[in-house]
Amino acid sequence: MQSAPILILGYARTENIWKMINLVNKLGKRNLYLSLDGPRNEVVANAQQKLIDDIKDSKIDIRIRRNMNNQGVAVSVISGIDWFFSSEEFGIIIEDDLHFTSDFISWCEWAGEHFSGDDQVFMISGNRFIGDEVTSYTHYPQTWGWATWRNRWKKLRPLYSGKPFQISNVFSYVSNFWTGGTLRILSTVTDTWDILIAKYMKENSLISVLPPRNLVSNLGADQYSTHTSLEKFPIAFPIKNLSLDSLKLATKESSEIVSNDHFLEREVFHIRYRHWFSLLKNLPLILYRSRLNKRLLRNDSIEL
């Protein structure tokens, strides 16, 4: 099984980033990447510089990229993934608020090889919030620890330009939730990045492969959280061990995928009937859907 490159996307949780780097280094992983958003204040700037100095002193082989200025979540994550896939064909992507074990890395490497030729699979996820013992699937991205391929990312990436913008199934409150949310992202009203992926995957019947057991946990709300303010499900969802020797691979049954989709819509994304109005409420933002792309084009970063 081939060792997969790993990208860590970070900002201010430098102690956790250092733990991640040491874990993957002990596992013998060599293609490591670290992308840091620029600091907003001197405290974060000093913490980032200490991390960079510690990495250099440790002699760990890792490529480091840092934004010159603070770009926010969306621009930092998207541009960091762009940088990663300018050099790699497949890789694991981890943000700095996560906790994982070696089983997550092994799962992504195994699944990356197994599903590489299946174009319906957009990503491999480390998350499993319902059921266990066999692999499962959903049409939604599960990005608390995930992996994908350059060719999948390249198909998605032009959609962040906001042109063309597709509005579909306006009579569905679920569809309107994702369309309205995507307009908020593209117009930079909401500073996040993965809602657009959910819209893209759902509309194109693409899937995330879920492990038999949960392999990654979000550390939860802290002073650096952008969108997480409460310790609620599935924050801090417990991690379980996974043996690839006893892995059970499920078939892609449409009924199970729909069931998983409904669970995530209800319990994780909290989509309700009232979100039918999300499209109507956010439709004027279509006039400003190129704002995110303009920020991406202006992104300033250096490789250290």
pLDDT at 130 > cutoff 70:
yes
pLDDT at 228 > cutoff 60:
no
Is the residue at 101 inside a domain? Answer: yes
Average pLDDT over the chain reads 94
Cα Rg of the chain (Å, integer): 19
What is the band of 105 on the pLDDT scale with cuts at 50, 70, 90?
Answer: very high
Is the residue at 234 inside a domain? Answer: yes
Give the least confident one: 47-56, 85-94, 250-259, 290-299: 250-259
Nearest partner of 139 among 235, 247, 264, 233, judged by Cα: 264
- Give residue 221's pLDDT: 64
Tokens 């379980």 belong to 240
Quote the DSSP letter at residue 268.
I
Number of domains making up the chain: 1
- Stretch 190-195: mean pLDDT: 97
Residue 77: CB atoms within 10 Å:
21
Tokens 């913490």 belong to 47
Nearest partner of 4 among 21, 27, 29, judged by Cα: 29
- Give residue 38's pLDDT: 97
Residues 143, 208: Cα–Cα separation, whole Å: 9
- Stretch 235-259: mean pLDDT: 91
Output the CA–CA distances (angstroms, integers) from residue 231 to 12, 152, 206, 268, 270, in the order listed. 20, 33, 30, 13, 15
Is the residue at 161 inside a domain? Answer: yes
Residues 236, 238: Cα–Cα separation, whole Å: 6
What is the band of 224 on the pLDDT scale with cuts at 50, 70, 90?
Answer: low
Is the residue at 19 inside a domain? Answer: yes
Helix (H) or strand (E) holding 14: helix 14-26
pLDDT at 132 > cutoff 80:
no
Residues 35, 204: Cα–Cα separation, whole Å: 29
- Give residue 223's pLDDT: 59
Is the residue at 1 inside a domain? Answer: no
CB within 8 A of 242, min separation 6: which ones?
103, 106, 107, 211, 212, 213, 215
Is the residue at 201 inside a domain? Answer: yes
- Stretch 74-98: mean pLDDT: 98
pLDDT tens across 146-189, in order? 999 999 999 999 999 998 899 989 999 999 999 999 999 999 99
Nearest partner of 129 among 209, 266, 233, judged by Cα: 233
Residues 174, 106: Cα–Cα separation, whole Å: 34
pLDDT at 233 > cutoff 90:
no
Q: Give the tokens for residue 274.
A: 């009232």
pLDDT at 47 > cutoff 70:
yes
- Stretch 274-292: mean pLDDT: 97
Residue 161: CB atoms within 10 Å:
16
What is the band of 90 on the pLDDT scale with cuts at 50, 70, 90?
Answer: very high
The percent of residues in the chain predicted with pLDDT above 70, rounded, is 96
Q: Give the tokens for residue 12.
A: 């201010």
CATH number of the structural domain spanning residue 175: 3.90.550.10
Q: Which residue range(s) make up the domain with 242?
A: 6-303
Quote the DSSP letter at residue 120.
T
What is the band of 230 on the pLDDT scale with cuts at 50, 70, 90?
Answer: low
Is the residue at 297 inside a domain? Answer: yes
What stretches of 161-206 adopt beta strand conformation (E)?
none
Quote the DSSP letter at residue 265.
I
- Stretch 5-17: mean pLDDT: 97
